[in-house]
Amino acid sequence: MTSLPATIFRELRDPLNLVRHLPTLLAVGLVLYAIVAGGYVVALAGFALIYAVFVTGLNIFMGLGGQASFGHNAFAAISGYTSAVLTTSYGWETLPAMGVGVLGAVTLAVIIGYPTLRLKGHYLAMATLAIGLIVYEIAVQWQSVTQGYTGISGIPPLGIGKWEAASDRAQLIVLSLIVILAMLSAWRIRNSRFGRALVAFSGSEDAARALGIDVARYKLAAFVVSAVYAAIAGSLLVHIVGFVSPEVFGMSMVIAGFTMLYVGGIGAVVGPLVGAVMINLLPETFRGLKEYQDIIYGVALIMILIYAPGGFASMSTLWRGAPSEDDTIARDPGLAVNALEAKP
């Protein structure tokens, strides 16, 4: 299997590919600009990178696996609150607290995933939505631990041992490294046998079973893996902001995640990063329009979904006749069945 750096180098040698990958290059450029410029744009870029991790998990479960989930905010909330409580009330270091939070989210994903993933379509979507609402209500009512709507403040920044990413630029650099690792791991998953199995049963579960794929087991594995990304994003969010309350992990997080996923490009590895950066910065572009800001923002999103239904990451179809591998599989997931047979 070709390495990711070699793939990138081969792609960028073609001038036409530079145009095709313009949204990705623009997203990376905006993050680099934020690191250099500082100020308010650093906060925007930081939130974009955290959501890029969160949406990467959604992309594995929804983009590759073809499933629907409205409840990944629950895993972010469990990890975030666990990390916040352990660091503020019990004096834990940031990294171990984040690890326990992720472990708690994964445990919940395994417990609820096995019975829930027997559902399909809108039934699965409603079940995952209920999970998110239940966790949100627990965060509101369990005031002795979560402090309810008052929230938990004084959460320490990201750090290892005595070193802390105290400045905005340091935090943004750390987040950038984490997003790079998330993108690399997602790329490895997508090109592994596991990833090809996910794409195969997203196109046809019956065909996947005929190939000997244990669909139920792969669904659960995809659900748990995506929960890991969501949990990491939840812990990152509370340590970057230094505060957490139930609203942070409410339905707004689900809506934002879905918007970023579809605007960036569902099924594409770089889609979460592109979508997260675009959605976080697009409202700022129209801020000068004042009362017309929300209208223009909504129109812009509609135009993107109409003229680039595969998201910014699928812009290749607008620049050349042959679609990329991401576009091909996204349009016909059943093609992955052949790939699954052909590759070891």
Q: Is the pLDDT of residue 344 over 50?
A: no
- Between CA 314 and CA 319 the distance in angstroms is 10
- pLDDT tens readout for residues 214-266: 888 999 999 999 999 999 999 999 999 999 999 999 999 999 999 999 989 88
The answer to whether residue 16 is domain-embedded is: no
Sign of the torsion angle spanned by Cα atoms 279, 131, 250, 47: negative
3 state SS of 159: strand
The answer to whether residue 155 is domain-embedded is: yes
The answer to whether residue 13 is domain-embedded is: no
CATH code, domain with 292? 1.10.3470
- Confidence (pLDDT) at 20: 64
User: What are the residues whose beta carbons fall under 8 Å from the beta carbon of 73, sequence distance 6 or more?
Assistant: 132, 135, 136, 230, 249, 250, 251, 253, 254, 257
Range with the largest mean pLDDT of 171-180, 276-285, 318-327: 171-180
The answer to whether residue 218 is domain-embedded is: yes
Per the model's pLDDT, the better-predicted residue between 310 and 220 turns out to be: 220
- Confidence (pLDDT) at 316: 54
CA distances from 216 to 55, 65, 69, 316, 323 (A): 23, 11, 16, 34, 31
Other Cβ atoms within 10 Å of 122 Cβ, number: 10
- Confidence (pLDDT) at 294: 73
The answer to whether residue 253 is domain-embedded is: yes
Q: Is the pLDDT of residue 14 over 80?
A: no
Average pLDDT of span 337-341: 48
The answer to whether residue 158 is domain-embedded is: yes
- pLDDT tens readout for residues 162-174: 888 888 889 999 9
- Confidence (pLDDT) at 207: 86
3 state SS of 316: helix
- Confidence (pLDDT) at 312: 80
The answer to whether residue 1 is domain-embedded is: no
Q: Give the predicted TM-score (pTM) of the model.
A: 0.86
- Between CA 128 and CA 124 the distance in angstroms is 6
**Range of the structural domain that residue 251 is part of:** 22-342
- Between CA 236 and CA 46 the distance in angstroms is 10
User: What are the residues whose beta carbons fall under 8 Å from the beta carbon of 263, sequence distance 6 or more?
Assistant: 274, 275, 278, 279, 301, 304, 305, 311, 312
Token pair for residue 270? Answer: 């770089």
Q: Is the pLDDT of residue 328 over 50?
A: no
- pLDDT tens readout for residues 85-137: 999 999 999 999 999 999 999 999 999 998 998 888 889 999 999 999 999 99
- Confidence (pLDDT) at 2: 55
Average pLDDT of span 44-62: 95
How many domains, the chain?
Answer: 1
Closest CA to 123 of 70, 56, 77: 70
- Confidence (pLDDT) at 137: 96
The answer to whether residue 311 is domain-embedded is: yes
CB 337 within 8 A of CB 343: no
Per the model's pLDDT, the better-predicted residue between 164 and 48 turns out to be: 48
Residue-wise DSSP of 65-105? T----S-HHHHHHHHHHHHHHHHHHS---HHHHHHHHHHHH
Average pLDDT of span 138-149: 95
- Confidence (pLDDT) at 134: 96
- Confidence (pLDDT) at 322: 46
